[in-house]
Structure 1
């Protein structure tokens, strides 16, 4: 259901050109009528507001019942930082965050992560943009497991595309949840995007998106 809060978030993404409507081809070769690029968040005001959306979702879901936030390089880094700031300023939850390097550093403090150093027993939540095929999440899980006996109970993302994954009848998010036992929480999903487009877009684009959803999506 497209609530006012979800509509507000979609309008925010559109105003930042993070969400665009049209005709696009995803990395997996699928034709889609919308595209999400969180790399388009470029101002302090945008990051502050984005952090508030993520922090609100984290606070409502787990409160302070976790030990650290992980932002996968590269796009997850500013997301985790913005969320950490907003959790403190808006909810008085002060939690550390960390992120990974694409290449392991062999000098200075060294290692493959920057910021908080996770330890055995930590409950880490992942702050990410979208999950399409689940590849990035699997890479993150491998990296986190190399840090110690760490659990990842929750993953927070902007958009659930609801696209089928590697297993027929299962979305990539379903596969991630079953494989790692982590619950994925999106701010909006593909149905919300479609409902917004139907209210504000042209009929031809809506019709094309219906075809995309019928072909590639498993709807909630």
Structure 2
């Protein structure tokens, strides 16, 4: 079983990936919903870490530090560096992780960054999903201010949707073109259709195909 299949299976078992009718923040009615917050136990977090680490190794991206934007990205960065070393070996033994504070601290270690320094480092940003790309844009600015170099972005799910009011380009493509770095994912919309298609009812399949034709780039 591929890491993509294992991740989708784990997502279904954790009830993090559901099918039905859901209203997204954008107001769209979606035939599926992904809530990574439901990866909240030792076993599910282990599956999540394995999926991220496997996707990162498969991507061939080069980096010194994994940066997790506050707040969702913080545990993702931490569990992923551990799993990278566990399954990837010595190549990843010195990979650091860091995250930003929402409010800058002026005592103790101070500053807005916790963990590994980003200065002069190649940085991989990790997050859950990308809708409009706002959080990722902020992460780029933070890393630039710390004199780091972003070499890629890894997310769990790429819905590949074109945001409301935008013509023809999904958020991941827009971010990749804007900053000139690859944006990778564990799975994307096409993987859901291809790998879970035999589990859909006829109604679910029709809804997903219609949604894809309307919103997915």
Per-residue CA distance 1:91-148 (angstroms, 9 max, x = gap): 12121100111222232212112111211x3110011111111111111111111112
1:164 counterpart = 2:152: no
Return 19-28 or 193-202, whichever deviates more: 193-202
Return 72-81 or 161-170, whichever deviates more: 161-170
Output the TM-score relative to the length of structure 1: 0.90
Q: Which of structure 1's runs of 4+ aligned residues deviate more than 6 A?
A: none
Q: In the comparison of the two structures, how many residue pairs are matched? A: 213
Give 1:31's match in structure 2, choosing from 24, 29, 37. Answer: 29
1:87 counterpart = 2:84: yes
Q: Which residue of 1 aligns with 2:99?
A: 99
> Matches of 2:4 and 2:54 in 1, distance apart?
13
Gaps of 5+ in 1: none
> Matches of 2:196 and 2:122 in 1, distance apart?
37
Q: Which residue of 1 aligns with 2:215?
A: 216
> Matches of 2:115 and 2:3 in 1, distance apart?
32
Q: Which residue of 1 aligns with 2:198?
A: 199
Q: Which residue of 1 aligns with 2:56?
A: 58
Q: Is the 8 A contact 2:3 2:51 kept in 1?
A: no
Q: Is the 8 A contact 1:197 1:206 kept in 2?
A: no
Return 177-186 or 203-212, whichever deviates more: 203-212
SS at structure 2 position matched to 1:155: strand
SS at structure 2 position matched to 1:29: coil
Q: Which residue of 2 aligns with 1:74?
A: 71
Gaps of 5+ in 2: none
Output the TM-score relative to the length of structure 2: 0.92
> Matches of 1:98 and 1:90 in 2, distance apart?
21
> Matches of 1:174 and 1:208 in 2, distance apart?
24
Q: How far off its partner does 1:4 sit?
A: 4.5
1:41 counterpart = 2:39: yes
Q: What is the root-mean-square deviation in Å for CA atoms of aligned residues?
A: 1.6
> Matches of 1:198 and 1:60 in 2, distance apart?
24
Change (3 A) 1:198 1:60: closer
Q: Which residue of 2 aligns with 1:124?
A: 123
SS at structure 2 position matched to 1:107: coil
Q: How far off its partner does 1:172 sit?
A: 0.7
Q: How far off its partner does 1:80 sit?
A: 0.9
